[in-house]
Amino acid sequence: MKIGIIGTGNVGGAIARGLRGKGHSVTLGARDLDGAEVQRLAQQADAVLALPDVAARGAEIVVLALPWGVAEAAVAALGDLTGKIVVDCMNPIGRGPAGLQLLVGHSTSGGEIVQSWLPGARVVKTLNQVGAEMMADNHHLAHRPVMFMAGDDAEAKGAVGQMLTDMGFEALDAGGIALSRLLEPLGLVWINQALVRGKGRNWAFAAIS
């Protein structure tokens, strides 16, 4: 598939690395095409570099790997995404009195809000449930890690599921986009374990039987 990754930080970079050599055509959407780091990433991931709107225009799957606080304006600047599959990896989190917390939920979610910004696009919430490192490479784990998806379009989830499989995950369909209400708290469980409770970042959820 033609995949445009908007945001080339921890998550965007890890997804690009995880997709290297898997038969996809990856374009990194970056604001500064001359930056040394993004150029190095493009080389490592065997990806093309473009401005964010150009990367989105040419893509079948547009991956949003942006900080939640800038997402609405950044998504609006991408142009018309009608008909495209949009992967929302973002966790709407910020610091509150009790540390990191969800900024939206539990009666709505970031995934539903992104879908409301893009009514003509097919949004799939996923890749928000583990740390970026697990997206770049998870083959050393004892079990195949699971990655849930939430979205209203079955065909979109089929395509994204294949992308997740290519990245080493067991892709599981959680249900419609409203199920993002459960997947975003799950992302926070991972963050809390990794960063607050001392488990570190080298682990993921698995669905074993």
Ligand X SMILES: NC(=O)c1ccc[n+]([C@@H]2O[C@H](COP(=O)([O-])OP(=O)(O)OC[C@H]3O[C@@H](n4cnc5c(N)ncnc54)[C@H](OP(=O)(O)O)[C@@H]3O)[C@@H](O)[C@H]2O)c1
Which residues are at the interface with ligand X (CB under 6 A)? 6-12, 31-32, 52, 65-68, 70, 74, 89-91, 93, 128, 131-132
**Beta carbon nearer to ligand X, 73 or 154:** 73
**Beta carbon nearer to ligand X, 7 or 145:** 7
CB of residue 200 vs ligand X: minimum separation in angstroms?
12
**Beta carbon nearer to ligand X, 3 or 89:** 89
CB of residue 10 vs ligand X: minimum separation in angstroms?
3
Quote the CA–CA distance of 98 and 85 in Å, as a whole number.
Answer: 35
Burial level of 144, CB count in 10 A (0-12/13-18/19+)? middle
CB of residue 151 vs ligand X: minimum separation in angstroms?
17
Measured between alpha carbons, how far is residue 87 from residues 100, 111, 140, 151 in Å?
A: 23, 9, 25, 9
Quote the CA–CA distance of 16 and 80 in Å, as a whole number.
Answer: 23
List CB contacts of 127: < 8 A, sequence separation 6 or more. 11, 15, 63, 87, 89, 135, 147, 164
**Beta carbon nearer to ligand X, 70 or 172:** 70
**Beta carbon nearer to ligand X, 138 or 209:** 138
Quote the CA–CA distance of 141 and 63 in Å, as a whole number.
Answer: 25
CB of residue 74 vs ligand X: minimum separation in angstroms?
4
**Beta carbon nearer to ligand X, 159 or 204:** 204
CB of residue 66 vs ligand X: minimum separation in angstroms?
5
List CB contacts of 201: < 8 A, sequence separation 6 or more. 131, 133, 134, 194
CB of residue 88 vs ligand X: minimum separation in angstroms?
9
- DSSP code for 171: E
**Which residue's structure tokens are 């893509």?**
59
Q: At what angle do helices 10-19 and 36-45 cross, to 10 degrees?
A: 20
